[in-house]
Structure 1
Amino acid sequence: MPVTPTRKTTLADMVRLGRNPSDSLEKAGREPTTSPDELSGRHGYNADFLTGWRVALPQPAGDIRPLRRGGPGAELRYQNFSVIMSASRRLPLITAVNIDGAQSRQVPRTDVWCFDGRLDKDDQWGDALYDGNALDRGHMVRREDPVWGTLEEARTANADTFHFTNCCPQMASVNQKVWLGLEDYVLRHAKVDRMRVSVFTGPFFGANDLAYRGALIPKAFWKVVAIVTENGRPSATAYKVDQVQALEHLKFVYAGYKTFQISIRSVMQNTNIDFSALIPYDGFSQHEVAQGTELVEPLDSFESIRV
């Protein structure tokens, strides 16, 4: 017997082929939270990691989100890395990681992103910002970087990198190219003392960042790399990658990126993070002080990097 439809079908009723109709279109609201107890005992970034050169965690000026539970201060300590969060932007101001290439391990990727229970959920952006668009959860501390030490320590570090406190919204064209290879290149080619590197990463926050889903999407990111060269010389370098062109196409397609080597002085001036202790070891900063002009070099390949 034929059935007479009682209402019309709307676009919201339609289901894409290949998707289980029982699945939610969004993951937001289902993210797990790591408890403060589970994260207790993490030592975080080590200022004395580089042989003969103490590099303290650079401190941001203002807009810092203190821990709400699990300890004093604002430093979120994880296995082999640390994060300081922005209170207003709900994204990291700075991340700091120690990389030991001699003890590096390969462990399976987890891809389960979690809230950090030492902060409130409203202090950190979750999947509501990333679901159903072209934005990646861009690791600030790359997954492989802190994965070293004992097997248990490496597994812990791997899981720790998948906290929303360690990511910023990045277009895939940015996230999957230069940023993934920069530390690899420095680690392989700089001949660092005992293959050790300390890396600081974060976003450039600006008043004209893209407003999207209640957040402001950074248009550019910075990275500062500190090493001790084979001849014992401390070296600090800085890099910038922008995603302005990519963000113009956020709702449409992936687009390109631009990467530059810049001065640590420039990073300090544009982030209000105190990198003054590293400026004497950065040739770009010293050139700017001597010449009075900003030095920016496009990086067409990793071979263009100067340390």
Structure 2
Amino acid sequence: MSLAMTEAVPDMPAWMLDEDSAGAYRARRGYIPHFFGMIVPMPRPRISSVLAPTHMGGTELRYENFTILMHAERRMALVAAANVIRSGADGEDEADVEDWLTDPRMEAHHQPPPGLPRARIVRAEDVAHGTDDIAALRARRDSRHLANGVSWDLAGAWGELEDLVLEESVSERLCVFTGPILDRDDQGMPSRHWKVIVSRTAQGMRAHGFVLAMDGLRMQVPLVAIEFATGLDFGEVLHVADVYDDDIAFRLAARAQLGRSGRC
């Protein structure tokens, strides 16, 4: 951690500076399902044995404002769940990455190798919020973990979609889920990622599903298509909230120049 970052919050607890201590994560609550006043469950794999275990006996890596489930064999995030406040962004993101961090709560062989990540799945600017400056700084630091690494940059394309979804929201808070679509021949670098953005509107909860390809192609898809492609289970609450067949989805696709497909 740079001197500039520590000087910004001079009363930062000493344990936050110990990047090798599992105790440094005691205050992390991770993803909060009731973040915007409605319960938004985190998607999980139908076959739980694909997940990498933590040293505490579970499978969740809880960080400040987000949680990650790691795929044990593929050594990458299978699902990242984040509580997002877009207004909390201050313009910094990929530029403030120094060294990627190995999470001491999980065996290193279940995490991406240090040379792989080029960008972040959960963007620092999205989760850098909290009750004080220390919480926001902690979230930024947490986004530097290898578990949150991805081999190509998703940030710009996803950010635009979040902003469009926010236009219909009654608050600046979103629940956002992201992960790769794993193919047998992707050689450890998935060429497609999915994203589900959930907002609270005057009409209730709304969930939007998307797929982004490495070649820049962006598609609007139903949640059931993401489930079929990934083996995840989004649960009844999110399926009811899925707006793929609603007018709001058609308008968003037109504005963002998205393709639409019933499959990934």
TM range (shorter): 0.7 to 0.9
Cα distance in 1 for residues equivalent to 2:161 and 2:20: 30
Distance 2:243 2:256 in 1: 18
User: Alpha-carbon deviations, 1:80-106, whole Å to 9, x = none?
Assistant: 00000000100000000011345x253
Partner of 1:253: none
User: Is the aligned partner of 1:45 residue 2:31?
Assistant: yes
Q: What is the one-letter code of the residue matched to 2:220?
A: Q
Give RMSD over aligned pairs: 2.8
Structure 2 SS opposite 1:194? coil
Question: Shift in Å at residue 107 of structure 1?
Answer: 7.9
**Residue 110 of structure 2 corresponds to residue 156 of structure 1:** no
**Cα pair 1:107 1:154 within 8 Å, conserved:** no
Alignment partner of 1:272 out of 209, 224, 231 = 231
Separation in 2 of the partners of 1:154 and 1:55? 22
For structure 2, the 5+ residue unaligned runs are 1-17
- Take 1:220 and 1:202, find their aligned partners in 2: how far apart are those partners? 9
- AA partner of residue 166 (structure 1): N
- Residue 90 (structure 2) pairs with residue 106 (structure 1): yes
The amino acid of 1:266's aligned partner reads: A
User: Which residue of 207, 211, 214 maps to 1:240?
Assistant: 211
- Partner residue, 1:120: 107
Give the conservation status (yes or no) of the 8 Å contact 2:123–2:155.
no
Query: Is 1:178 aligned to 2:157, yes or no?
Result: yes
Displacement over 4 Å in runs of 4+:
295-301, 303-306
Give the aligned residue type for 2:36.
Answer: L
Letter of the structure 2 residue corresponding to residue 224 of structure 1? V
Q: 1:285 to 1:33 in 2, by over 3 A?
A: farther
Query: Which residue does the alignment assign to 1:19?
Result: none
Deviation per CA, 1:208-242, whole angstroms, max 9, x where unpaired?
21x2xxxx11120000011111x142100100011
**How many residues are matched?**
235
Larger relative helix fraction:
2
In structure 1, the residue corresponding to 2:97 is in which secondary structure?
coil
Deviation per CA, 1:82-136: give whole Å up to 9, x if none: 000000100000000011345x253855312111111122111133335xxxxxx
Normalising by structure 1, we get a TM-score of 0.69
Q: 1:194 is matched with which residue?
A: 171
Q: Distance in 1 between matches of 2:112 and 2:207?
A: 31
TM-score (norm. length: structure 2): 0.80
1:240–1:260 contact (8 Å) kept in structure 2: yes
User: 2:191 corresponds to which residue?
Assistant: 219
Question: Any idea what SS the aligned residue of 1:201 has?
Answer: strand
Aligned counterparts of 2:196 and 2:155: Cα–Cα separation in 1: 19
SS at match of 2:140: helix
- C-alpha change, 1:176 and 1:75, in structure 2 (3 Å) is closer
1:167 matched residue in structure 2 = 149
Structure 1: segments with no counterpart, 5+ residues? 1-31, 131-136, 244-255, 288-294
Matched, 1:261 2:220: yes
Q: Give, in whole Å, the separation in 2 of the partners of 1:111 and 1:100.
A: 20
Give the residue type in structure 1 aligned to 2:194: W
- One-letter code of the match for 1:186? V
Greater Rg over alpha carbons, structure: 1
2:155 matches 1:208 = no
The reply on whether 1:138 has 2:119 as its aligned counterpart is yes
User: Structure 1 residues 265, 108: closer, same or farther in 2, change over 3 A?
Assistant: closer
- Decide which of 54, 58, 82 is 1:97's aligned counterpart: 82
Percent of matched pairs sharing the same residue: 28
How much does 1:177 deviate? 3.4
